[in-house]
Structure 1
Amino acid sequence: MNHSVEKIGGTSMSRWQDVLQNIWLRPHTGADGNSSLYQRVFVVSAYAGITNGLLEHKKSGEPGVYALFAEMDDKHPWQDKLQQVLQQMLDINAGMFADDAVTRKRADQFISERIGDVQECLQHLAAVCSFGHFQLDDHLHRVREMLSALGEAHSAYNSVQLLRQHEVNARFIDLTNWVSDDQQSLDEHIASAFADVDFAREMPIVTGYTQCREGLMRTFDRGYSEMTFSRIATITGAREAIIHKEYHFSTADPLLVGADNVHPIGQTNYDVADQLANLGMEAIHPRAAAGLRKQNILLRVKNTFEPEHSGTVIRNDYCSSTPKVEIIAGTRNVWALELFDQDMVGDPAYGQRMNDLVLESGVRVLTKDYNANTVTFYMKGNSRRINWLMERLQQVYPQADVRVEKLALVSAIGSDMNIPGLLQQAAGALSAAGVNIRSVHQALRQVDMMFLVSDSDYAAAVKALHGQLIEQADTWPAQKLA
């Protein structure tokens, strides 16, 4: 096929004027050499902040509609929160369609009706679950999916109205399955939705959320839009998959090391993308990338606000021609949970129950280490889950000493980091910056090197490693000028 499938993130969607001019109304040249607005499918995220209000804040954990509903408070604070989110959506509509009262009314009616449907459904569900025969926990994953669908439906519907104002033949493809008794699989739902799409004459605008039998959120939680994006690309046979973000896929976070000191990576492979995903800094969810990888579909990450830049290409067969570090990345608020027990020495089955409990807790393990009598998990998760895990571990291993400490993880990543003395360089840079290394991990495959440091040293560690391994490296100057 000659079309591309492109995903636009929430922060970019909130700057819809830039998206309109830099992406939608910007002709592109297809594989056949012809320039056109079409031959492109766009999967859109909810506007920035909307999904936080519908579910919970992704970073702070502040409860949204879902979290408040799950508490089953008799005062029903979720209803007030739902109305707050609706007002946010209506304010967005007012800004987008300030000069077109008819379109604004149409957009307001669309999202108001959906919010009304959700409110009525949740009220009925709460009433049903007040009886002992029905447990709210059995239905919460469906509630989460239904609330998630609101944000993407709102942004996709608005985008179609906006494009039609500019005489673009945009088509709204609603994968939320809002009013239907038909339950299809993910692939079946996408295939049927695109069965009659004319890529040469239509610009499909697709909801990032897809309702399906599998339940996307149970597996991918808030990474569901990337799975929708990936499956559309593979099922429709796209020639290229593109992710539009508000920043370049760069050598480090410019807010930490300075915008003048970072630059786009240009090229990398899916292995590097997987390492970033492990840190929660996803170029694309690993499961979503798998389909693209198998179909050998090229993935490109572009900056929404620099449309002339070709972005970063991620593909299967790339490997740096010269071994080097490509990116410094990391994450704060990492829980180091340590279990010390002399009884584990020589017992190969000792850790089985431990691993089961970690999985059951729902925390995400970044890495772990162990020696003869100690196992340490480095994890991401909220304090409630960590405390639950600690209590259960202490119950199962009553003779063990269990403790937890909050750290930060900083990682040097590259498609080929087989560089003699690299560990010494990195450790020296951290030491010179006054950063104490609490733990270090380096795999034989030479694609990443992890350093656990004090949480307060995170920014200093990123700056130190970027300065030594990238800014001062003689493998980067030529690419800086490219």
Structure 2
Amino acid sequence: MKILKFGGTSVANPYNIRKVKSIVEKNNSEHIAVVVSAFGGITDLLLDTSRLASNQDPAYKESLKQIEDRHISAIRELVPVRAQSTVLSKVKSDLNTLETLLEGSFLIGELTPKLSDKIVSYGELLSSYIISEFFKSEGLDAAFKDSRELIITDNNYGKANVDFERTNANCNAFFNANADKITVLPGFVAASKSGNSTTLGRGGSDYTAAIIAAAQQVSLLEIWTDVSGMYTANPKLVKQAKCVSHISYEEAMELSHFGAKVLYPPTIQPVLGKEIPIAIKNTFEPENPGTLIAKNNNGNGKTVRGISHVGNISLLSLEGPGMIGIPGISKRFFETLSLKNISIVLITQASSEHSICVGIADEDVDVAAEAVNDTFAYEISSKKIKPVIVEKDLTIVALVGDNMKSHQGLSGKMFSTLGKNNVNIRAIAQGASERNISAVIKKDDVKKALNSLHETFFEENIKQLNLFVMGVGNVGSKFLQQIRQQKKYLKEELKLNIRVIGISNSRKMVFDENGIPLKDWESLLANGEKADKQLFFDQVKSLNLRNSVFVDNTANLEVAQSYPDYLKNSISVVTCNKIACSSDYAYYRELKELSKKYNAPFLFETNVGAGLPIIDTLKHLIASGDKVKKIQAVLSGSLNFVFNTFNDSVTFHDVVKQAQEQGYTEPDPTIDLSGIDVMRKILILARESGHQLDIDSIENESFLPKESLETNSNDAFFESLKKYESDFQAMYKEAANMDCKLKYVAQFEDGKAKVGLQRIPKGHDFYNLEGSDNIVLFFTERYPNQPMIIKGAGAGADVTASGIFADIIRIGNF
């Protein structure tokens, strides 16, 4: 004999019910018991209808009409016209009885647990009868059997306890004498010893099937649902979740207890003792092998088998000095909750006995708090114990696996993963079996927590980075192009899955939680919503994705001032915007401290030298104990390009214009030519060397005329360059006559910094610096005479974008 159970989605409509019939037909070689749930959504509708009736709201009649229409419509679609009258007559009779029960609840304004069970039982009773008649009309040897005649319980309405001795006897007597090939039974419903309808708890149809399977000692129990087995995590929240092919009874119980809704937790109890395997199958993909739950599964050596969660949890905490060393406190606490019929999901107690904390359902917490405060009223009034503390809107996340007990460091790995993603843990618990590690977190963090943990324990070390990019001009567009080009390589070789979730320019912004297709980013952005820096941050925060990175490709002050908001939410910041790190020293330090405090990398390699590893090299020197004595550098790719290109056959105006057009300068070229850009860079290097310095203490020997520096537009600036062309030519000729080249040099030594145009003689390290290249000489305790030299392209959209990209990869490797 085989037992097949079909859930609410499997029998949600006539189309799905026909799929069920095909599956049943294929198993028709032996006797089959088919246990079915109510049509999808009907149980909730019955509960809502009964609440409306008990609140004396006439709208319950409209809700009842929806229930009637669903069942009548199913009959007319499934059962041939010639056979409909008998089926319709029976169903309408049941619906009339249901209407009478609801009318009674309406008249007295009350809904007792006993009455609620009677009302809600009609979902399964109606669906199973209609499906059995459909099977018969299709030529199957099928019959209906009311489960209330087989499964006997106590009077604990809503979640009745089964009398297995009488139930097993009833099942054996019926099925041993039953000649029908297919027996269709309603799940969820049972009857008390006195004959009243009872129910086995939400999800109890699974339990019904397991009770019958155990009574008949079948070889396999099949649970048919809308997913292909039990997954490593909820696939609706974790897209990378994978089906677990084999799992132990104990692991399945833990996962189902902690929210894996594919299986009702008590289902395993009846079959566990008799070692009857359970197959979880997908009605809509019947060929998929699904998950087999059986004894002694070793999980192929894997430690964590699944990550599950249970939501709508509140923490109830009792604490105070009057608890320490006093026997009976825990007994009174748990007894109080037990008397209120409140189930405890999680327990944790400090070893000092100073506090007890339990996790319970949100819906029970107010009643629980009042009851506990009443129980300990004397201790509370005498200040020995504090009034109970309640924390709502929480979720429990749990790692589950039989092999976890033999592996060290799993708890640390779990908590480290959550901590890196700013998921605060409110309470933890681990059973003595070490099969489960549970953590209580805010419900708003559950998706991020599940995805982070799944990435850590299941995704072959592939780390997902979620980028939010502000600024898509020359540098930003090149950056997106490089990500698109390298995406496959990063995933295969570096185990990084980089997704761009948000993009903004000064006019528009666009978001896609699943990742913006980079081949279409320009058109998607053009059709996005109006740009707003605060709304951009709010959206990044509300998405609350793991491994989030804010990428600033602008030169905007307001954007630079927003970095603390991102860092405080454990969102990493990568920027080529030099404003933040060259502003007030206190702000620079604040960003550094926030990065450490919230474990959010703050990287700005491109602030100096574009894609050159200047800051990174300096950090390594300092970290290894070396000390910087002097820094000499040509740090402006734009100025180096200008003075390498300028000569007596071309005007200074034309060279600067060319530099701007080729993207070597900032949009406002005075930032480069005034020396402010170089000042910012040497300031950043001085600070990264460990020195406290502000920009107003840097000496700037400007070569530009005062009139040029004071212009208020690019047009006016370029006109001023024409006016002073003779001065620029004089500078060039003076250097050429001395066989020198003009270089704009930054220097830091003895705590002081200066920048300015210098004549560089032959033989100097700066003399042959070509094009827009940068060069930095680090004189340190280890490199006192022959400096460490870093040299290469220091300007341009491509190299700057590659420097930002390199910082992203650094974050991926953290």
Quick check: TM above 0.5?
Answer: yes
Partner of 2:4: 6
Q: Is contact 1:210–1:216 with CA below 8 Å preserved after alignment?
A: no
Partner of residue 448, structure 2: 460
Separation of aligned partners in 2, 1:22 and 1:48: 14
Q: How does 1:228-307 map to 2 (within 5 A)?
A: 228-248=208-228, 249-258=230-239, 261-307=240-286
Provide the rounded CA distance (Å) in 1 between the counterparts of 2:371 and 2:433. Answer: 35
How many Å apart are 1:48 and its aligned residue?
A: 0.7
Question: Which residue of the partner structure matches residue 107 of structure 1?
Answer: 87
Query: Is 168-177 or 100-109 further displaced after alignment?
Result: 100-109
What SS does the aligned partner of 1:434 have? coil
Write out aligned runs for 1:83-94 (5 A): 83-94=65-76
Deviation at 1:277, TM superposition (A): 3.1
Check if 1:405 corresponds to 2:410: no
1:196 to 170, 177, 194: 177
Match of 1:387 among 363, 366, 383: 366
- Matches of 2:371 and 2:58, distance apart in 1: 32
Pair 1:52-2:44 in alignment: yes
Instruction: Report the Cα offset of residue 6 of structure 1.
Output: 1.1
SS at the partner of 1:194? helix
Q: Which amino acid is the alignment partner of residue 327 of structure 2? A: P
CA distance in 1, matches of 2:233, 2:13: 24
Secondary structure class of the residue paired with 1:275: helix
Scaled by the length of structure 1, the TM-score of the pair is 0.82
* Alignment match, 1:222: 202
Q: Which amino acid aligns with 1:409?
A: I
Q: How does 1:57-456 map to 2 (within 5 A)?
A: 63-65=48-50, 67-71=51-55, 73=56, 78-97=60-79, 100-121=80-101, 123=103, 140-176=112-148, 185-198=166-179, 202-213=181-192, 220-248=200-228, 249-258=230-239, 261-371=240-350, 372-382=353-363, 385-398=364-377, 399=380, 400-406=386-392, 407-417=394-404, 418-456=406-444
| Residues 111-140 of structure 1: CA deviation (Å, up to 9, x unaligned) | 21102123335556877x79xxxxx67xx2
Q: 2: distance between equivalents of 1:89 and 1:15?
A: 9
How far the C-alpha of 1:11 sits from its partner, in A, is: 0.9
Aligned length: 436
1:189/1:212 contact within 8 Å kept: no
Contact kept? 1:19, 1:304, Cα under 8 Å: no
> CA offsets per residue over residues 409-441 of structure 1, 9 Å max, x none?
111111211322222222222122222222222
Q: CA RMSD in A?
A: 2.9
Other-structure match for 1:40 = 32
Secondary structure of the structure 1 residue equivalent to 2:147: coil
* CA radius of gyration, larger in: 2
* Residue 310 of structure 1, CA deviation: 1.9
CA contact (8 A) 2:348 2:427 kept: no
Equivalent residue of 1:222, what SS?
coil
The CA deviation at 1:23 is 5.7
For residue 255 of structure 1, give the secondary structure of its aligned residue in structure 2: coil
Give the Å deviation of 1:68: 3.5
Query: How many angstroms does 1:229 deviate by?
Result: 1.1
Q: In structure 2, the residue corresponding to 1:221 is in which secondary structure?
A: coil
1:449, 1:419 → 2: CA distance?
13
Structure 1: how far apart are the matches of 2:220 and 2:401?
23
* Long gaps (5+) in structure 1: 30-35, 56-62, 131-135, 475-482
8 A contact 2:251–2:402 mirrored in 1: yes
Of 307-316 and 414-423, deviating more is: 414-423
Q: Distance in 2 between matches of 1:15 and 1:22?
A: 11
Indicate if the aligned counterparts of 2:190 and 2:198 stay in contact, CA closer than 8 A: no
Give, as a single letter, the amino acid of the residue that structure 2 aligns with 1:360. Answer: L
Tell me the distance in 1 between the aligned counterparts of 2:292 and 2:103.
47
Post-superposition offset of 1:195: 4.1
Q: In structure 2, do the counterparts of structure 1 residues 315 and 82 end up closer, same or farther at CA, with 3 Å as the change threshold?
A: same
SS in 1 for 2:418: helix
Aligned mates of 2:357, 2:260 — CA distance in 1 = 23
Which string of whole-angstrom CA distances, capped at 9 and with x for unpartnered residues, describes residues 379-427 of structure 1? 1241xx3212111212222312312112111111112113222222222
Q: Which amino acid aligns with 1:64?
A: T
- 1:43, distance to aligned residue in structure 2 (A): 0.4
Deviation at 1:88, TM superposition (A): 2.8
| Matched-pair contact (CA < 8 Å) for 1:141–1:217 | no
Q: Greater shift after overlay, 107-116 or 326-335?
A: 107-116
Distance 2:90 2:323 in 1: 60
CA 1:290–1:25: 2 relative to 1, 3 Å: closer
Structure 2 CA distance for partners of 1:433 and 1:411, relative to 1, 3 Å:
same
Q: Which amino acid aligns with 1:12?
A: S
Percent of residue pairs identical = 20
Displacement of 1:95 in angstroms is 4.0
For residue 281 of structure 1, give the secondary structure of its aligned residue in structure 2: coil
Choose 100-109 or 18-27, whichever is displaced more. 18-27
**Contact kept? 1:5, 1:42, Cα under 8 Å:** yes
Q: Note if contact 1:341-1:401 (Cα within 8 Å) is conserved in structure 2.
A: no
Change (3 A) 1:108 1:28: closer
Q: Is the 8 A contact 1:173 1:193 kept in 2?
A: no
Contact 2:336/2:375 (8 A) holds in 1: no
- Deviation of 1:5 (Å): 0.6
Are residues 124 and 68 of structure 1, via their aligned partners in 2, closer, same or farther at CA, if it must alter by over 3 Å? closer
Alpha carbons of structure 1 residues 193 and 151: separation in structure 2 relative to 1, 3 Å: farther
Instruction: Please say if residues 363 and 381 of structure 1, whose CA atoms lie closer than 8 Å, have aligned partners that are also in contact.
Output: no
Structure 2 CA distance for partners of 1:22 and 1:285, relative to 1, 3 Å: closer
Distance of 1:108 and 1:219 partners within structure 2: 25
How far did residue 92 of structure 1 move? Answer: 3.2
SS in 2 for 1:378: strand
For residues 256 and 210 of structure 1, do their structure 2 counterparts lie closer, same or farther at Cα, with a shift above 3 Å needed?
A: closer
The separation in 2 between residues aligned to 1:284 and 1:12, in whole angstroms, is: 14
Paired amino acid for 2:361:
K
**Structure 2: gaps of 5 or more residues:** 156-162, 381-385, 463-814
Distance of aligned partners of 1:38 and 1:366 in 2 relative to their CA distance in 1, 3 Å threshold? same
Instruction: Measure how far apart 1:301 and its partner are.
Output: 0.8
Looking at structure 1, the residues matched to 260 and 299 of structure 2 have their Cα atoms a distance apart, in angstroms, of 21
